[in-house]
Structure 1
């Protein structure tokens, strides 16, 4: 009896190994589909190109997944824009402005951190308080680490960015709060009393000029991504 059970167990293991690759592929497709739905819900109505940029998924893969999601009613298409389908409208209704901001900013933040080695933070005003929404760690760990959900410390460049919205240049903290750390912050006014900020922190007494330019460009990029997702497309633009 023991030999029979061992044989059956071995057969099951072999079958599992043979199908393991296809199962992993299936999980990857499902994960990509759910990630895509997250982006559609946060940025709708959104173009295919913007979905590919926000998710990092190749454009042709995005196109194929959208076609499959349309078939099952999870996504609907209007011209070149995509929305959550009827079966997921409840999910779309629960998307907050903060979630929309985080989705739009995810890739620009990661690329700013990768290009500069800095710790990069995204914050926004919630209930009248500036709090961190997302954080990308520095290439080399720093003394200060922001935590999503925590209030932005007063006196920092990030906190000052919210008070000095009319100032076009980045706000700089050159070792004023922590002696061996410097910070660059750029405010992002989003309208409807919502303001966000991108900040970059490095272990230097003064931030490099390149960090100022890169942080400012990242703020502008996030603003453009959000605005492009919200701007209606006229008949003359209904092309891909």
Structure 2
């Protein structure tokens, strides 16, 4: 049985979404980020990333991680590539070339897009988006993201998918990274193919189910 450690309001959302797409049964262990817990080290604190029980599974103290029949793995995007590869089907690569493309696009999103997009999310999460500091952070992040949006927009113009001619784990991984930038609609308006693609990804039943569970979690 697959066990996913992490609350839905975290990067674990990517793994919960993929599990839904694959129809995988799983156990969810809702480990919270320590920064969201008033006293994370208290004896009665909810399970969080500093809790000994969690650190015994993942000593890095980061979520998400999975335990797949004794195989423990971290890094949300890599976990998705692993699960797609293991269980096969249309979400996985049909050829070695497709698998390489999925890895390439995922690493690109993780290194070139997410570091900037997450700054937008954090600005809103911390409530500074309307302050001078917040506006500066968002403006710089948006400027840095424009190039990535343009690249993906041009790529999607051909087939509407990141890899091949269908929805795959590459689409899911990138959709979860680009979701972080949704607080800046101008980026999507300037990249209509990205905007339409993300809307299609988020219209999928497994995404909606994941988000419904996520919305039910405590802030």
TM-score (norm 1): 0.29
Structure with more of its chain in strand, by fraction: 1
Q: Larger relative contact order (C-alpha < 8 A, sep ≥ 6)?
A: 2
TM-score (norm 2): 0.31
Structure with more of its chain in helix, by fraction: 2
